[in-house]
Amino acid sequence: MSAPVAEHVLASAVVQPEVLTGFSGPDAPPWEVINTCVHCGFCLPACPTYKLTLRERSSPRGRITLIKAVAEGRLDLMDPTFQDEMYLCLNCRACEAACPSGVKYGELVESARAQIEAQSPRTLRVRSARIAAFRGVFGSSRRFRAASAGLRLYQRTGAQRFVRRSGLLRRVGLAEKEALLPELSERFLVPGKEFWPAEGVRRGTVALLAGCIMSTAYAEVHRATARVLSRNGFDVIVPPGQGCCGALAIHSGDLEAGRAAARANIAAFSSPSIDAVVSNAAGCGAAMREYDFLLRNDPDWAERARRIAGKVRDVSEFLADQGLVATPGPLAVTVTYQEPCHLVHAQRISRQPRELLAAIPELQLIEMPESALCCGSAGIYNLLQPEMSSALLERKLANATSTGAAIIVSANPGCMLQMAAGLRSKGVQTEVVHIMTLLDRAYAALDVTAAAAN
């Protein structure tokens, strides 16, 4: 089937029997969620791909219509337009925040992708790459750290500079993808190896999600996060046995790999002494908060998943809601805040990061236009959909730099990598900083002031 056929389906008003004929198994897009959509169109202006294309089929409403058509047998699952639209979607969840009917769009698109991967023929090369990535490298913390150590060696030995200058990357079409590589931390954060005791009056114990990219490329952000939590009265542990949150696999349609990651993390964070499971990566936190849906059909894990999902908090949400007991020191800087999609839309956390920024004396927050519009990173979307990703990045950087702020603050590694790479390519010196790094700097400034006073 072709795009015109899919467009005809969008325009069709034929009422079909409520029988799921195009999908199969327990991971079919939930029929009750499909039918929650009333096609009001409130999602359209919130959707990044609709903003850029102005195509109905590239909107959440349009994609739900396509999903319903496949479910009812009016459109083939193998239709290239259907498959293209499911993967052109960033799954940023902006539509969910805008929807007056409460449609859980993320559940639909992730289930649709799982159906595509289960039923569509893939080449041996594609299948092998997916298995190696989601069940191999990301499926084991040890393997991921080993791969990251190899990348760190590539960066530290000068091999990266040589390869970039040789022009080889351009000749094989990998220059833009390689430019997105994060600079690996000197010392990774290994679960079970570090602990930060509470300072002052102890208020509780939190467990930090180490994750994959955060523990290797942003290990110092983890340590900054732990120091801030410790400063505010919390013991910080990093339980052994945890690993990747599973978000990349889930978003790519490999729900079984996502479930394996979820079970490992649920087991790792199951201690009753843990008051909260804290994440400083928006995408990871959003994935963990939905473990209950992911494992809803698993009788051995469903209830455990529900309990852990209920304990997960983004660190900005946790600190703002608990309250800072230690006042940060002054930072005389101008910043603008980029809202990660899976923080503002999936977790509905927008107020708390701004409250933390407002708690830093002398810091000036300058709001950027469209702060909640996706930057185009979206996990590995920038690798698979470079054209749309680049267009969204250009829009995000134009909005951010229009503020004149010296620092762009964010709360998600993918967003930070995406924006930092874009700024480097333009020769712009604006710094991209995690909000916990900024708070940690403010507390360090307080220590310097106190030392000088003594």
The class level of CATH for 3-119 reads mainly alpha
pLDDT the model gives residue 5: 52
Sequence ranges of the chain with CATH classification 1.20.1050: 195-321
The 10s digit of each residue's pLDDT in 328-366 is: 999 999 999 999 999 999 999 999 999 999 999 999 999
pLDDT the model gives residue 9: 55
The closest of 207, 211, 210 to 196, measured between CA atoms, is 207
pLDDT band at 168 (very low <50, low <70, confident <90, very high): confident
Sequence ranges of the chain with CATH classification 1.10.1060.10: 3-119
What is the 3-state composition of the chain as percent helix, strand, coil, each rounded to the nearest 5? 55, 5, 40
pLDDT the model gives residue 114: 95
- The arithmetic mean of pLDDT across residues 357-386, rounded, is 95
Sequence ranges of the chain with CATH classification 3.40.50.11810: 328-453
Residues 278, 312, 314, 292, CA torsion sign: positive
Note the CATH architecture for domain 195-321: Up-down Bundle (1.20)
pLDDT the model gives residue 448: 75
What pTM does this model have? 0.91
pLDDT at 454 over 80: no
CA-based Rg of the chain, rounded to a whole angstrom?
Answer: 22
CATH number belonging to the domain at 328-453, selected among 3.30.70.1400, 3.40.50.11810, 3.90.79.10, 1.20.1440.130: 3.40.50.11810
pLDDT the model gives residue 95: 97
pLDDT band at 46 (very low <50, low <70, confident <90, very high): very high
Find the range with the poorest average confidence among 162-176, 253-267, 303-317, 433-447: 162-176
Give the 3-state secondary structure of 270-338.
Answer: CCCCCCEEEECCHHHHHHHCCHHHHCCCCCCCHHHHHHHHHHEEEHHHHHHHHCCCCCCCCCCCEEEEC
What tokens appear for 335 in the block?
Answer: 């910043």
pLDDT band at 305 (very low <50, low <70, confident <90, very high): very high
The 10s digit of each residue's pLDDT in 79-136 is: 999 999 999 999 999 999 999 999 999 999 999 999 999 988 788 888 788 888 888 8
Distance separating alpha carbons of residues 431 and 224, to the nearest angstrom: 17
pLDDT the model gives residue 343: 98
